[in-house]
Chain A
Protein backbone atom coordinates (compact mmCIF):
# COMPACT_ATOMS: atom_id res chain seq x y z
CA UNK A 1 0.00 0.00 0.00
CA UNK A 2 1.35 3.36 -1.07
CA UNK A 3 1.45 6.81 0.49
CA UNK A 4 0.50 9.52 -2.02
CA UNK A 5 1.97 12.95 -1.38
CA UNK A 6 0.56 15.93 -3.25
CA UNK A 7 3.06 18.75 -3.12
CA UNK A 8 5.38 20.91 -5.15
CA UNK A 9 8.92 19.82 -5.96
CA UNK A 10 10.63 22.53 -3.91
CA UNK A 11 8.80 21.46 -0.74
CA UNK A 12 11.85 20.40 1.23
CA UNK A 13 9.68 20.10 4.35
CA UNK A 14 7.85 17.23 2.67
CA UNK A 15 11.26 15.69 2.04
CA UNK A 16 11.70 15.39 5.80
CA UNK A 17 8.72 13.03 5.85
CA UNK A 18 9.68 11.15 2.68
CA UNK A 19 13.04 10.31 4.27
CA UNK A 20 11.27 8.58 7.15
CA UNK A 21 8.87 6.73 4.87
CA UNK A 22 11.79 5.52 2.77
CA UNK A 23 13.61 4.34 5.87
CA UNK A 24 10.62 2.27 6.93
CA UNK A 25 10.18 0.80 3.48
CA UNK A 26 6.78 2.33 2.81
CA UNK A 27 6.14 2.93 -0.90
CA UNK A 28 5.69 6.60 -1.76
CA UNK A 29 4.43 8.38 -4.84
CA UNK A 30 4.95 12.11 -4.77
CA UNK A 31 3.46 14.35 -7.41
CA UNK A 32 2.36 17.89 -8.03
CA UNK A 33 -1.11 18.37 -9.52
CA UNK A 34 0.39 21.33 -11.39
CA UNK A 35 1.99 18.73 -13.67
CA UNK A 36 -1.36 17.18 -14.63
CA UNK A 37 -1.59 16.77 -17.61
CA UNK A 38 2.01 16.29 -18.65
CA UNK A 39 4.40 14.94 -16.07
CA UNK A 40 1.46 13.45 -14.20
CA UNK A 41 -1.09 11.21 -15.90
CA UNK A 42 -4.24 9.54 -14.66
CA UNK A 43 -6.83 7.07 -15.79
CA UNK A 44 -9.95 5.76 -14.14
CA UNK A 45 -12.48 3.26 -15.45
CA UNK A 46 -15.99 2.79 -14.11
CA UNK A 47 -17.24 -0.42 -15.69
CA UNK A 48 -19.55 -3.21 -14.53
CA UNK A 49 -20.06 -1.63 -11.14
CA UNK A 50 -16.34 -1.42 -10.38
CA UNK A 51 -13.76 1.33 -10.41
CA UNK A 52 -10.14 0.93 -11.42
CA UNK A 53 -7.98 4.00 -11.30
CA UNK A 54 -4.28 4.72 -11.70
CA UNK A 55 -1.91 7.63 -11.37
CA UNK A 56 1.47 7.91 -13.02
CA UNK A 57 4.32 10.25 -12.22
CA UNK A 58 8.04 10.10 -12.96
CA UNK A 59 7.81 6.51 -14.10
CA UNK A 60 5.83 5.35 -11.08
CA UNK A 61 2.41 3.84 -11.56
CA UNK A 62 0.10 3.49 -8.60
CA UNK A 63 -3.38 2.05 -8.30
CA UNK A 64 -5.82 4.30 -6.51
CA UNK A 65 -7.11 1.19 -4.74
CA UNK A 66 -3.57 0.65 -3.52
CA UNK A 67 -3.31 3.94 -1.64
CA UNK A 68 -3.13 3.75 2.13
CA UNK A 69 -3.06 7.51 2.68
CA UNK A 70 -3.04 10.84 0.86
CA UNK A 71 -1.05 13.76 2.24
CA UNK A 72 -2.18 17.08 0.81
CA UNK A 73 0.89 19.15 1.64
CA UNK A 74 1.64 22.05 -0.72
CA UNK A 75 0.05 20.99 -4.04
CA UNK A 76 0.19 23.34 -6.97
CA UNK A 77 -2.97 24.25 -8.81
CA UNK A 78 -3.91 21.45 -11.19
CA UNK A 79 -2.72 21.98 -14.78
CA UNK A 80 -0.75 25.08 -13.81
CA UNK A 81 2.22 23.80 -15.82
CA UNK A 82 0.22 22.36 -18.69
CA UNK A 83 1.41 23.17 -22.19
CA UNK A 84 -1.66 25.33 -22.69
CA UNK A 85 -2.97 26.18 -19.22
CA UNK A 86 -6.43 27.62 -18.78
CA UNK A 87 -9.01 28.00 -16.05
CA UNK A 88 -11.12 25.39 -17.80
CA UNK A 89 -8.28 22.87 -17.92
CA UNK A 90 -7.52 23.52 -14.26
CA UNK A 91 -11.10 22.77 -13.32
CA UNK A 92 -11.17 19.65 -15.49
CA UNK A 93 -7.91 18.38 -14.02
CA UNK A 94 -8.92 19.23 -10.46
CA UNK A 95 -12.19 17.38 -10.79
CA UNK A 96 -10.58 14.35 -12.40
CA UNK A 97 -7.76 14.01 -9.87
CA UNK A 98 -9.47 14.88 -6.62
CA UNK A 99 -12.72 13.29 -7.75
CA UNK A 100 -11.02 9.94 -8.26
CA UNK A 101 -9.06 10.22 -5.03
CA UNK A 102 -12.22 10.99 -3.09
CA UNK A 103 -13.50 7.61 -4.20
CA UNK A 104 -10.58 5.77 -2.63
CA UNK A 105 -10.56 4.28 0.86
CA UNK A 106 -7.29 6.02 1.71
CA UNK A 107 -6.91 8.07 4.87
CA UNK A 108 -6.45 11.78 4.26
CA UNK A 109 -4.19 14.32 5.85
CA UNK A 110 -6.29 16.39 5.40
CA UNK A 111 -9.43 15.66 3.42
CA UNK A 112 -10.07 18.54 0.97
CA UNK A 113 -13.58 19.17 2.30
CA UNK A 114 -12.40 19.38 5.89
CA UNK A 115 -9.41 21.47 4.85
CA UNK A 116 -11.54 23.99 2.99
CA UNK A 117 -13.88 24.44 5.93
CA UNK A 118 -11.04 24.61 8.43
CA UNK A 119 -9.44 27.57 6.65
CA UNK A 120 -12.29 29.87 7.72
CA UNK A 121 -11.00 31.83 10.67
CA UNK A 122 -14.45 32.80 11.97
CA UNK A 123 -15.35 29.12 11.98
CA UNK A 124 -12.10 28.33 13.79
CA UNK A 125 -12.85 30.86 16.51
CA UNK A 126 -16.30 29.43 17.14
CA UNK A 127 -15.06 25.85 17.18
CA UNK A 128 -12.26 26.81 19.56
CA UNK A 129 -14.79 28.39 21.89
CA UNK A 130 -16.96 25.28 21.78
CA UNK A 131 -13.96 23.09 22.56
CA UNK A 132 -13.13 25.15 25.62
CA UNK A 133 -10.08 26.99 24.32
CA UNK A 134 -9.65 30.58 25.55
CA UNK A 135 -10.29 32.93 22.61
CA UNK A 136 -9.41 36.65 22.81
CA UNK A 137 -12.34 39.00 22.27
CA UNK A 138 -12.72 39.33 18.51
CA UNK A 139 -14.83 41.40 16.14
CA UNK A 140 -15.24 40.87 12.41
CA UNK A 141 -17.19 43.70 10.86
CA UNK A 142 -17.76 46.13 8.03
CA UNK A 143 -19.43 48.64 10.37
CA UNK A 144 -17.00 51.43 11.31
CA UNK A 145 -19.15 52.28 14.32
CA UNK A 146 -18.97 48.71 15.58
CA UNK A 147 -15.19 48.88 15.28
CA UNK A 148 -15.09 52.15 17.25
CA UNK A 149 -17.28 50.73 20.00
CA UNK A 150 -15.16 47.58 20.15
CA UNK A 151 -12.05 49.75 20.46
CA UNK A 152 -13.70 51.62 23.33
CA UNK A 153 -14.25 48.31 25.13
CA UNK A 154 -10.86 46.86 24.22
CA UNK A 155 -8.46 49.77 23.68
CA UNK A 156 -5.48 47.51 23.00
CA UNK A 157 -6.29 45.85 19.67
CA UNK A 158 -4.64 44.08 16.78
CA UNK A 159 -5.88 43.73 13.21
CA UNK A 160 -5.27 40.70 11.00
CA UNK A 161 -6.67 39.34 7.72
CA UNK A 162 -9.89 37.38 8.07
CA UNK A 163 -8.74 34.81 5.51
CA UNK A 164 -5.06 34.63 6.27
CA UNK A 165 -4.47 35.35 2.57
CA UNK A 166 -2.22 38.12 1.39
CA UNK A 167 -2.77 40.49 -1.55
CA UNK A 168 -0.72 39.60 -4.61
CA UNK A 169 -1.08 42.59 -6.90
CA UNK A 170 1.47 43.70 -5.91
CA UNK A 171 2.63 40.99 -3.48
CA UNK A 172 2.20 42.20 0.07
CA UNK A 173 2.05 40.70 3.52
CA UNK A 174 -0.52 41.76 6.08
CA UNK A 175 0.99 40.89 9.44
CA UNK A 176 -1.01 40.93 12.61
CA UNK A 177 -0.55 44.56 13.64
CA UNK A 178 -1.30 46.69 16.65
CA UNK A 179 -4.02 49.31 16.17
CA UNK A 180 -3.48 52.69 17.75
CA UNK A 181 -6.26 53.80 20.14
CA UNK A 182 -7.06 56.96 18.13
CA UNK A 183 -7.26 55.11 14.81
CA UNK A 184 -9.77 56.22 12.18
CA UNK A 185 -11.96 53.17 11.54
CA UNK A 186 -13.87 54.57 8.54
CA UNK A 187 -12.01 52.24 6.13
CA UNK A 188 -13.60 49.27 7.91
CA UNK A 189 -16.53 49.88 5.55
CA UNK A 190 -14.36 48.90 2.58
CA UNK A 191 -13.68 45.33 3.64
CA UNK A 192 -14.44 42.85 6.42
CA UNK A 193 -12.02 43.65 9.22
CA UNK A 194 -10.91 41.35 12.02
CA UNK A 195 -10.06 43.16 15.25
CA UNK A 196 -8.90 41.24 18.28
CA UNK A 197 -7.93 42.12 21.81
CA UNK A 198 -4.15 42.04 21.95
CA UNK A 199 -2.84 39.42 24.32
CA UNK A 200 0.11 40.75 26.30
CA UNK A 201 2.15 37.67 25.68
CA UNK A 202 5.24 36.28 27.28
CA UNK A 203 5.59 33.59 24.62
CA UNK A 204 4.24 32.25 21.35
CA UNK A 205 3.18 28.63 21.21
CA UNK A 206 3.10 26.48 18.08
CA UNK A 207 1.30 23.24 18.89
CA UNK A 208 1.48 20.73 16.06
CA UNK A 209 -1.05 17.94 16.31
CA UNK A 210 -0.68 14.78 14.24
CA UNK A 211 -3.55 12.41 14.82
CA UNK A 212 -3.54 12.11 18.61
CA UNK A 213 0.09 13.16 19.05
CA UNK A 214 0.83 16.64 20.39
CA UNK A 215 4.15 18.32 19.70
CA UNK A 216 4.45 21.77 21.23
CA UNK A 217 7.09 24.44 20.86
CA UNK A 218 7.44 27.72 22.73
CA UNK A 219 9.21 30.90 21.73
CA UNK A 220 9.64 33.40 24.56
CA UNK A 221 8.95 37.04 23.93
CA UNK A 222 11.99 39.25 24.40
CA UNK A 223 11.95 41.01 27.78
CA UNK A 224 12.64 44.35 26.12
CA UNK A 225 10.22 43.84 23.26
CA UNK A 226 8.47 47.00 22.07
CA UNK A 227 4.74 46.11 21.93
CA UNK A 228 4.46 48.20 18.75
CA UNK A 229 7.21 46.25 17.02
CA UNK A 230 5.60 43.98 14.40
CA UNK A 231 7.81 41.14 15.57
CA UNK A 232 6.41 41.44 19.08
CA UNK A 233 2.86 41.07 17.74
CA UNK A 234 3.27 38.58 14.89
CA UNK A 235 5.75 35.80 15.60
CA UNK A 236 6.44 35.36 11.90
CA UNK A 237 8.27 38.68 12.05
CA UNK A 238 9.97 38.05 15.38
CA UNK A 239 13.71 37.97 15.82
CA UNK A 240 15.39 34.64 15.26
CA UNK A 241 17.63 35.33 18.25
CA UNK A 242 15.18 33.68 20.62
CA UNK A 243 14.81 30.05 19.60
CA UNK A 244 11.79 27.78 19.67
CA UNK A 245 12.00 25.23 22.47
CA UNK A 246 10.02 22.06 23.06
CA UNK A 247 7.24 22.61 25.60
CA UNK A 248 4.73 20.64 27.63
CA UNK A 249 1.03 20.93 26.84
CA UNK A 250 -1.38 21.70 29.70
CA UNK A 251 -3.84 18.79 30.02
CA UNK A 252 -6.89 20.99 29.45
CA UNK A 253 -5.38 22.34 26.24
CA UNK A 254 -4.50 18.81 25.13
CA UNK A 255 -8.08 17.66 25.57
CA UNK A 256 -9.43 20.76 23.81
CA UNK A 257 -7.22 20.57 20.73
CA UNK A 258 -7.94 16.87 20.30
CA UNK A 259 -11.62 17.70 20.48
CA UNK A 260 -11.06 20.51 17.96
CA UNK A 261 -9.42 18.19 15.42
CA UNK A 262 -12.10 15.56 15.84
CA UNK A 263 -14.85 18.14 15.31
CA UNK A 264 -12.97 19.60 12.34
CA UNK A 265 -12.32 16.11 10.91
CA UNK A 266 -8.65 16.96 10.56
CA UNK A 267 -5.71 14.58 10.94
CA UNK A 268 -3.22 17.44 11.18
CA UNK A 269 -3.37 20.92 12.61
CA UNK A 270 -0.82 23.54 13.61
CA UNK A 271 -2.27 25.64 16.43
CA UNK A 272 -0.99 29.08 17.30
CA UNK A 273 -1.44 30.33 20.84
CA UNK A 274 -0.30 33.42 22.72
CA UNK A 275 0.79 32.65 26.28
CA UNK A 276 -0.02 35.48 28.66
CA UNK A 277 1.63 36.47 31.93
CA UNK A 278 -0.58 34.04 33.86
CA UNK A 279 0.44 31.16 31.64
CA UNK A 280 -2.91 30.97 29.84
CA UNK A 281 -2.72 29.80 26.24
CA UNK A 282 -5.00 32.01 24.11
CA UNK A 283 -6.14 30.44 20.85
CA UNK A 284 -5.21 32.48 17.80
CA UNK A 285 -5.73 30.06 14.93
CA UNK A 286 -5.31 26.54 13.65
CA UNK A 287 -3.57 26.15 10.30
CA UNK A 288 -4.71 22.88 8.80
CA UNK A 289 -1.54 22.72 6.70
CA UNK A 290 0.74 24.83 8.87
CA UNK A 291 4.48 24.69 8.45
CA UNK A 292 6.35 22.41 10.82
CA UNK A 293 9.83 22.17 9.41
CA UNK A 294 11.17 25.20 11.22
CA UNK A 295 9.89 23.82 14.54
CA UNK A 296 11.58 20.47 14.03
CA UNK A 297 14.81 22.08 12.86
CA UNK A 298 15.01 24.25 15.97
CA UNK A 299 13.60 21.95 18.64
CA UNK A 300 14.30 18.44 17.45
CA UNK A 301 10.67 17.53 17.98
CA UNK A 302 10.02 14.45 15.80
CA UNK A 303 7.18 15.95 13.78
CA UNK A 304 8.22 14.58 10.38
CA UNK A 305 8.61 11.10 11.82
CA UNK A 306 5.22 11.34 13.50
CA UNK A 307 3.59 12.40 10.24
CA UNK A 308 5.33 9.55 8.43
CA UNK A 309 4.06 7.08 11.02
CA UNK A 310 0.51 8.39 10.64
CA UNK A 311 0.69 8.17 6.85
CA UNK A 312 2.15 4.68 6.99
CA UNK A 313 -0.41 3.37 9.43
CA UNK A 314 -2.72 1.04 7.54
CA UNK A 315 -5.62 2.27 9.64
CA UNK A 316 -8.62 0.12 10.46
CA UNK A 317 -8.83 -2.96 8.32
CA UNK A 318 -11.71 -2.75 5.87
CA UNK A 319 -14.42 -5.28 6.54
CA UNK A 320 -16.74 -6.80 4.03
CA UNK A 321 -19.55 -9.31 4.27
CA UNK A 322 -18.95 -12.59 2.51
CA UNK A 323 -21.50 -15.38 2.86
CA UNK A 324 -22.95 -13.63 5.85
CA UNK A 325 -19.69 -13.47 7.83
CA UNK A 326 -17.41 -10.55 8.40
CA UNK A 327 -14.18 -11.01 6.48
CA UNK A 328 -11.04 -8.93 6.23
CA UNK A 329 -10.15 -7.83 2.72
CA UNK A 330 -6.44 -8.24 1.93
Chain B
Protein backbone atom coordinates (compact mmCIF):
# COMPACT_ATOMS: atom_id res chain seq x y z
CA UNK B 1 0.00 0.00 0.00
CA UNK B 2 3.01 2.29 -0.37
CA UNK B 3 2.43 5.41 -2.50
CA UNK B 4 4.09 5.21 -5.89
CA UNK B 5 6.57 8.05 -5.29
CA UNK B 6 7.98 6.33 -2.20
CA UNK B 7 9.24 3.51 -4.40
CA UNK B 8 11.96 6.02 -5.30
CA UNK B 9 12.78 7.15 -1.75
CA UNK B 10 16.25 6.87 -0.31
CA UNK B 11 17.69 7.55 3.15
CA UNK B 12 17.90 11.26 3.81
CA UNK B 13 21.33 12.81 3.68
CA UNK B 14 22.54 14.00 7.05
CA UNK B 15 25.27 16.43 7.90
CA UNK B 16 27.49 14.17 9.96
CA UNK B 17 30.22 16.69 10.59
CA UNK B 18 29.70 19.16 13.38
CA UNK B 19 29.89 22.72 12.18
CA UNK B 20 33.02 24.56 13.35
CA UNK B 21 31.07 27.64 14.32
CA UNK B 22 28.62 28.66 17.02
CA UNK B 23 25.91 31.27 17.13
CA UNK B 24 26.79 34.49 18.89
CA UNK B 25 23.56 36.12 20.01
CA UNK B 26 25.35 39.43 20.56
CA UNK B 27 26.55 39.60 16.98
CA UNK B 28 23.52 37.69 15.66
CA UNK B 29 26.02 35.74 13.57
CA UNK B 30 27.77 32.40 13.65
CA UNK B 31 31.44 32.74 14.55
CA UNK B 32 34.39 30.43 14.15
CA UNK B 33 36.50 29.33 17.09
CA UNK B 34 39.06 32.02 16.24
CA UNK B 35 36.36 34.69 16.43
CA UNK B 36 35.95 35.28 12.71
CA UNK B 37 32.48 35.48 11.21
CA UNK B 38 31.73 32.15 9.53
CA UNK B 39 29.88 33.78 6.64
CA UNK B 40 33.08 35.53 5.67
CA UNK B 41 34.84 32.26 4.94
CA UNK B 42 33.27 31.21 1.67
CA UNK B 43 35.76 28.41 1.15
CA UNK B 44 34.67 26.89 4.44
CA UNK B 45 30.99 27.24 3.60
CA UNK B 46 31.61 25.50 0.28
CA UNK B 47 33.46 22.70 2.03
CA UNK B 48 30.77 22.22 4.69
CA UNK B 49 27.85 22.35 2.30
CA UNK B 50 25.73 24.09 4.91
CA UNK B 51 24.41 26.57 2.39
CA UNK B 52 23.54 23.88 -0.11
CA UNK B 53 20.19 22.91 -1.49
CA UNK B 54 19.40 19.44 -0.18
CA UNK B 55 16.66 16.87 -0.25
CA UNK B 56 15.18 15.39 2.87
CA UNK B 57 15.35 18.38 5.16
CA UNK B 58 13.58 17.55 8.38
CA UNK B 59 12.11 20.96 8.93
CA UNK B 60 12.07 22.75 5.60
CA UNK B 61 10.97 21.67 2.20
CA UNK B 62 11.92 24.75 0.27
CA UNK B 63 15.23 23.76 -1.25
Contact = CB atoms under 8 A, between A and B. Distances in A.
The interface residues of chain A, by DSSP majority, are classed as mixed
Contacts of A16: 39, 51
Contacts of B33: none
B22 to A, nearest CB: 9
A187 B62 contact: no
A175 B8 contact: yes
A19 B25 contact: no
Interface in A145-186: 147, 159-168, 170-175, 177, 185
Contact of B63 (A9, A18, A193, A290): A290
A20 to B, nearest CB: 10
Given A160-B5, A187-B3, A190-B2, A175 B30 contact: no
A187 B61 CA distance: 24
A248 interface: no
A123 interface: no
Contact of B39 (A19, A119, A160, A174): A19
Contacts of B7: 187
Contacts of A175: 8, 10, 55
A174 B25 CA distance: 35
A237 B49 CA distance: 13
Contacts of B60: 74, 289
B6 A167 contact: yes
Contacts of B42: 296-297
A236 B6 contact: no
Chain A interface residue number, banded: 35 or more
The interface residues of chain B, by DSSP majority, are classed as loop
Contacts of B8: 159, 174-175, 177
Contacts of A57: 25
Interface in B1-44: 1-14, 19, 21, 23, 25-26, 28-30, 37-40, 42
Nearest to B51: A293
A223 interface: no
A225 interface: no
Contact of A236 (B51, B54, B61): B54
A18 B28 contact: yes
A289 to B, nearest CB: 4
Contacts of B54: 173, 236, 291
Contact of A10 (B19, B26, B53): B19
A287 B53 CA distance: 11
A38 to B, nearest CB: 13
B12 A172 contact: yes
A258 B19 CA distance: 37
A147 B55 CA distance: 25
A132 B3 CA distance: 32
Given A119-B62, A165-B61, 12 more contacts: A12-B21, A147-B4, A159-B4, A164-B62, A171-B11, A172-B6, A174-B5, A175-B10, A234-B55, A287-B62, A289-B62, A293-B52
11 contacts: A12-B39, A15-B29, A16-B51, A19-B29, A167-B9, A171-B58, A172-B11, A173-B9, A175-B8, A175-B55, A297-B46
Interface of B: 1-14, 19, 21, 23, 25-26, 28-30, 37-40, 42, 45-46, 49-63
